[in-house]
């Protein structure tokens, strides 16, 4: 072996020793942001579109940095499921929530049917306040992975029944609901019958830590049956996130909180190869990250909160392919290439800031990320 190669191997072998010599402090709070379908291409598109909205100081103009791209730690996440190299959202959510692989279509259970404990359930068991927020239906695959246990992600009625009775969370917010009772007065009655405080788009402005009176909170903010927060209609994902952080901070009894926030409609836009909607949803997702940081800063809780931003998978095989041979003009849309309308096996981005963020540098697997978060919740 050449001397240089030997030196490199010795250096790499020493890295775990150095990392173990000075462990990072354990966070009091953890916020996990999941951009459903958000690969590196989607992040780049969101950044370029953000730069196009504001004149850039560079010539040629450069993409803007999204809020989470400014985080000091970055890496990548692999995401195969137990039975497919290309995961679906249910298996990916199970891995990200529970730290174990399962088959596509399964939520919160192993391939053999064994129930898996999520980091949200573990956090609640250890006295933490827990919140789950999504821009799409709160009984959809990704949020369901943190509180439900079903053999099929499409068992919406059963998943909704678990949402109403699981006792896992202090708050569950979503852009809609797929199961029955599907909304309005019927869902409100079902929630209130089990002791929940119920809020919708009409009553969102009344939502506050004081207004919930210590009850579990169910928020369903679908305005037109789309199962999603609609463009230009309040509340936005950033508002739901800020309110969730506020409530969880108020409910912290000394053990901190765990919050998962999903930008679910990025995936929906990419399934349709709709670049405009994809860029919009990435920016909505980024604004939710910024809203959480502002809320934490106002409460002087930034320093003890680990914030992680990642994705469950990439959707559409999005590539920014041009222009080639000339700069991208200010306000110009890049030439895009979609490689399909389904999920891909591409690794996805991973960003982190706060206590223990350094442990997320470089490449990890999605189940490995969940196991780390569990270890931080219950060392």
Contact (CB, 8 A) for 350 and 77: yes
Please pick, among 78, 81, 84, 89, the residue that the annotation labels catalytic: 89
Q: Would you state the torsion angle of the CA atoms of residues 102, 106, 111, 114, taken in this order, to the nearest 10 degrees?
A: 110
Determine whether 134 is an active site residue: no
| Strand blocks (E) in 195-269 | 197-200, 217-220, 257-263
Contact (CB, 8 A) for 276 and 46: no
Backbone angles phi, psi at 229, to 5 degrees: -65, 125
Report the C-alpha gap between 283 and 289 in whole angstroms. 10
Contact (CB, 8 A) for 308 and 97: no
Structure tokens at 295: 């809320």
Q: How far is residue 25 CA from its own chain's centroid?
A: 23
DSSP 357: G
Structure tokens at 71: 């985080």
Residues 6+ apart with CB under 8 A from 100: 94, 110, 116, 367, 370
Q: To 5 degrees, how large is the angle CA 350–CA 287–CA 245? A: 85
Structure tokens at 366: 């999605």
CB atoms within 10 A of CB 339: 14
Contact (CB, 8 A) for 271 and 315: yes
Q: Catalytic site residues?
A: 89
């Amino acid at each position: 072996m050449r001397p240089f190669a030997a030196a490199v191997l010795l250096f790499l072998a020493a890295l775990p020793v150095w990392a173990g010599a000075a462990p990072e402090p354990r966070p009091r709070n953890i916020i996990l942001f999941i951009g459903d379908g958000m690969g590196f291409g989607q992040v780049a598109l969101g950044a370029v579109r953000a730069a196009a909205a504001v004149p850039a100081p560079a010539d040629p103009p450069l993409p803007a940095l999204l809020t989470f791209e400014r985080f000091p730690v970055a890496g990548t996440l692999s995401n195969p499921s137990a039975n497919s190299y290309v995961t679906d959202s249910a298996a990916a959510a199970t891995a990200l929530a529970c730290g174990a692989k399962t088959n596509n279509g399964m939520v919160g259970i192993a391939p053999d049917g064994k129930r898996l404990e999520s980091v949200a359930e573990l956090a609640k068991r250890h006295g933490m306040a827990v919140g789950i927020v999504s821009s799409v239906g709160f009984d959809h695959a990704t949020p369901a992975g943190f509180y439900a246990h079903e053999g099929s992600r499409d068992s919406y009625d059963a998943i909704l029944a678990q949402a109403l009775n699981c006792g896992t969370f202090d708050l569950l917010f979503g852009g809609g609901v797929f199961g029955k009772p599907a909304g309005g007065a019927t869902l409100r009655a079902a929630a209130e019958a089990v002791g929940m405080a119920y809020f919708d788009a009409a009553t969102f402005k009344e939502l506050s830590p004081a207004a919930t009176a210590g009850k579990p909170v169910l928020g369903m903010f679908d305005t037109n049956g789309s199962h999603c927060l609609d463009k230009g209609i309040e509340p936005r994902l950033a508002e739901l996130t800020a309110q969730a952080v506020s409530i969880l901070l108020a409910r912290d009894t000394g053990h901190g909180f765990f919050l998962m926030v999903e930008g679910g409609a990025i995936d929906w836009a990419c399934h349709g190869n709709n670049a405009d909607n994809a860029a919009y949803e990435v920016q909505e997702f980024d604004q939710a990250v910024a809203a959480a940081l502002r809320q934490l800063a106002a409460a002087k809780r930034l320093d003890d909160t680990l914030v992680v931003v990642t994705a469950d998978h990439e959707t559409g095989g999005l590539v920014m392919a041009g222009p080639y041979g000339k700069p991208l003009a200010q306000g110009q849309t890049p030439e895009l290439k979609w490689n399909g309308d389904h999920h891909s096996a591409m690794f996805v981005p991973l960003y982190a800031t706060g206590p223990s963020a350094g442990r997320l540098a470089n490449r990890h697997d999605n189940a490995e990320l969940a196991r780390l978060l569990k270890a931080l919740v219950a060392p």
